[in-house]
Structure 1
Amino acid sequence: MKKLFVMMLMVCLTLSAFAGGSAETGAAEGTGPIKIGSIQDLSGGASTAGQPNAWGAEYAVKVINDEGGINGRMLEITTMDCKNDAAEGVMAYRKLVDEVGVAAIIGPPLSNPAAAWVELSEEDKIPIVGHFMDEICTTNPDTGEPYPYMFLAEPSSAIQSYCMAEYALTKLGAKTSATLYNPGNAFAKSQAAPFVEYWEEKGGSVLTEQTFSWSDKDYSAQAIRIANANPDVVFVCDYLPQNVTSYDALRDAGFTGPIIGANTLSLPFANMVKNNVYDVYFLQNYDMLNPEVGIFYDLVTKHMQETDTAAPAANVGFGWDAVQVLVNAMRAAKNPADGEEVASLLEQTDGVMLSSGSTITIDPATHRPSNMGMYIADYDENLDLRIVDFIKVN
């Protein structure tokens, strides 16, 4: 009898241990930190964008935690370097998911690495919010269906290209254009094709489309062909280093007309080219130096002070904004670490305030914003950036 009593006691103690362990785990899940990742280009060809992007995301997490976190739970952010390379990006993703145990990821403003996470994010149920503009990162090009865990927090490539084309056609009075870009760069390719499409739909003529590769260091031959065609404007849409080479090649070839393009023509572009900077018009997500609009000016100022950066970087706002969109969904979730639940709430994003002072609404049919336009900027005589217009197209 005594032996039976001891055995029963041992069973009860064992069951109690299991129950206690389970309760502790549940408490940890409900009250512990929420881990998120950030994958940015910190050392590759787009690091001038990636580094401020990473800072913006990390600073947003700091502010959110200082204000009490997500329903009392703190955020932990781990930043990894994708080096502007798809394979490196996959390794960074795997480490964040498998080793760090993140519940969500802030993605880079780079389409090449982001496109490699489409299937992985679905397998692992990891929502990714970023500024990867190419539509192939958010919707299936064959079916048009949105990828369930990929979300864009800025206007897509096509929308941005349409805005730039619309400005050149209506405000600059251009009728003919040319393009110069790297088709191996998803960021560039995803803008060049929509630009040409929109330009021709609106009655303009594209006189020549010139391309180069990642390994090319000299675009003079392409620039001479463009100069000989004598278009009203030239559209360039690559990363900053390639835009610098493109601009100098075009001016060296004798092209004196407006050069228009992506937000990668923004500072520090004007301080990197060898030729005089004039008639350069480019897209901007923010009215960068206006302290009266949103909090972007404050973010840029703090970033420049903390990092000793000479020029304001738009990507500071990208990192901040992506975190705001993600956290808005997490706050509405029963379990903010449940990727499936958070992804379903990201689809319902509506009216979330961004650093620009505007709001974002996500279209559930595309997982891209449905209500955002773009600023157009140029440089004044002192090479200071200034906003000259705001364009919104359907």
Structure 2
Amino acid sequence: MIRGTRKRAAGVMVTLCLALSACTMSTDTASSNHDGTGPITIGFIGGMSGVFAPYEKPALDGAKLAVKEINAAGGVNGRRLKLVTEDNKSDINESARAGQAILDDGAVASLVPVDLNYGGGAAQVIQGAGKIAMSVGGGSTQWAKFGPLVYNVGTTATSDGAAMAQFAHDKGIKDAYLMVDTISDFSQELCDGFKTRFKELGGRILGSDTFNNKDTSLGAQITRMKSAARQPGIIANCSFPPGGALMVKQLRDAGIDSPLISSNGMDGDFWFKNSMPNLSGVYTVDWASVWGDDPAPGVNKLVKDLAKAQGSQPQNQFGVTGYIAVKAIAAAMRKAGSTDGDKVAAALNSFKHEDVGIPLTFDKDFHMDRTREYRILQVVNGRPKFVTTVKTAGN
């Protein structure tokens, strides 16, 4: 999923990182990680409130579950894992500060937020200290080449969009309309990926329009869509709640019943179960189904364990991504026989369908998974369900 906001954080990121570059980890917190005897401290940075809470709170639950399982099985290289957390409040200005705080807590590797601009500052600080930073599922392609110690367990937005297009083509759909959320670079990349692949497959783009996630009315966009030559065979909803949810409702209220397809940002039923309880004709491209029907039995077991840990039905796959991020770091530390950042990175670069809950592949030049098989979920009468799988050529 998600997301590189158009509100550019580059200046803030660089300034804060430079300001923090002189900061060092205290010897008290560092010693237990580097003398090979104490626990291995893994950090988690995420928004426990704000726009990213629906994604990063579940990711934290997944990370906690992974730490619990790993410790129950004897830890990593004979040492237990310790998880420390830092809430960035979904605040773009908190990123670098959160990264330094996690280092001050003794982290030798850390999970960072989904969004590049909200998590990139933290990743830069952590990488600058020689540690691994791993996003729990952001979609910006820039994550893949951010630096030698920065990784992302997600897939690229353009690959997600290509998977959306492939599914539409496989269903025999010939034309599409694009709705692009301007709040996010991810959304643009997502629709770009859809458009490119759909046209390669012989599909036609009837039109394209933009909106902002904070808009309260899409009346003008709906009027323009209705003026198209015909009702589209499918609408690419390149957004996420609340704006993406508002778009679905207003389209349906306006009598536009074309199917809609989105990325994992529109996961879950939380955004429609009250306002559109009988919703149908909505598809999402995901890495895992959290509804007990994933084709991989191990994923279904993991989701059950997450539901038990959370005390409720998981709403999206980010509990899974938080889990696999910790599992990936732990597996790489075992392979490396070390917590040293460069050695762990070399181990991560060797991952080829590494089983960390779901298969995970990296290489030294591209630190996101370009081989993953997607799940297509469909909402029918208010209930999400697994439909099929789709693979793309990657990016």
Fold match by TM threshold 0.5: yes
**Partner secondary structure for residue 55 of structure 2:** helix
> 1:68 is matched with which residue?
74
User: Given the alignment, which residue of 32, 38, 41 partners 1:32?
Assistant: 38
* Distance of 1:355 and 1:313 partners within structure 2: 16
CA distance in 2, matches of 1:301, 1:164: 27
Could you tell me whether the CA contact under 8 Å between 2:144 and 2:368 is conserved in 1? Answer: yes
1:209 counterpart SS class = strand
Partner of 1:204: 203
Residue 91 of structure 1 aligns to which amino acid in structure 2? R
The aligned residue for residue 89 of structure 1 is: 95
Q: Which runs of 5+ in 1 are unaligned?
A: 1-20, 140-145
Match of 1:225 in 2: 224
Residue 331 of structure 2 is aligned with which of 328, 332, 340?
Answer: 328
Report the Cα distance in structure 2 between the residues aligned to 1:219 and 1:204, rounded to whole angstroms. 26
Please give the alpha-carbon distance, in whole angstroms, between the structure 2 residues aligned to 1:313 and 1:170: 25
For 1:234 and 1:265, how far apart are their aligned partners in 2? 14
Question: Conserved in 1, the CA contact under 8 Å of 2:293 and 2:386?
Answer: no
Contact 1:90/1:113 (8 A) holds in 2: no
Measured after TM superposition, the shift of residue 26 of structure 1 is 8.9
1:272 Cα shift? Answer: 4.4
1:346-365 C-alpha deviation (Å, 9 max, x unpaired): 11122321334xx2221322
Residues 1:347 and 2:349 aligned together:
yes
1:234: which partner in 2? 235
Equivalence for 1:108:
113
Q: 1:178–1:366: structure 2 CA closer, same or farther, 3 Å change rule?
A: same
What SS does the aligned partner of 1:240 have? coil
Paired residue type of 1:30: G
Structure 1 residues 343, 272: CA separation in 2 closer, same or farther (over 3 Å shift)? farther
Please give the per-residue CA displacement for 1:288-320, whole angstroms capped at 9, x wherever unaligned.
Answer: 313772432233223333433245432111111
State how 1:1-394 maps to structure 2 within 5 Å.
Answer: 29-97=35-103, 99-117=104-122, 119-130=124-135, 131-139=137-145, 147-171=147-171, 173-229=172-228, 230-268=231-269, 269-274=271-276, 276-288=278-290, 289-290=292-293, 293-336=296-339, 338-356=340-358, 359-381=359-381, 383-394=382-393
Instruction: Mark the CA change 1:302 to 1:312 in structure 2 (over 3 Å): closer, same or farther.
Output: farther
SS in 1 for 2:242: helix
TM-score (norm 1): 0.84
Letter in 2 for 1:264: G
Q: Secondary structure at the match of 1:290?
A: coil
Cα deviation, residue 335, structure 1: 2.4
CA 1:271–1:111 in 2, change beyond 3 Å: closer, same or farther? farther
Aligned sequence identity (%): 25
Letter in 2 for 1:217: T
- Give the number of aligned pairs: 359
Name the CA distance, whole Å, in 2 between partners of 1:352 and 1:126: 21
CA distance in 1: counterparts of 2:72 and 2:311, whole angstroms:
24
Secondary structure at the aligned position of 1:369 is classed as: coil
Q: For 2:181 and 2:61, locate their aligned partners in 1 and report how far apart those are by CA, in whole Å.
A: 28
Q: Which residue of 2 aligns with 1:6?
A: none
- Which letter maps to 1:233? I
Is there any run of 5+ residues in structure 2 with no aligned partner, and where?
Answer: 1-26
Q: Secondary structure in 2 aligned to 1:38?
A: strand
Q: Deviations over 1:43-90 (max 9, x none)?
A: 111312211111001110111011111111111111222333332222
In 1, distance between residues paired with 2:385 and 2:351? 31
- 1:177-215 deviation line (CA, Å, top 9, x unaligned): 122232221332231221122222322222222222243
Match in the other structure for 1:15: none
Task: Indicate if the aligned counterparts of 1:291 and 1:298 stay in contact, CA closer than 8 A.
Answer: no
Work out whether residues 268 and 384 of structure 2, in 8 Å CA contact, stay in contact via their aligned partners in 1: yes
Q: Give me the CA root mean square deviation.
A: 2.3
Query: Judging changes above 3 Å, is the alpha-carbon distance between structure 1 residues 152 and 311 closer, same or farther for their aligned structure 2 residues?
Result: closer
Aligned mates of 1:190, 1:83 — CA distance in 2: 25
Provide TM-score, normalisation by structure 2: 0.84
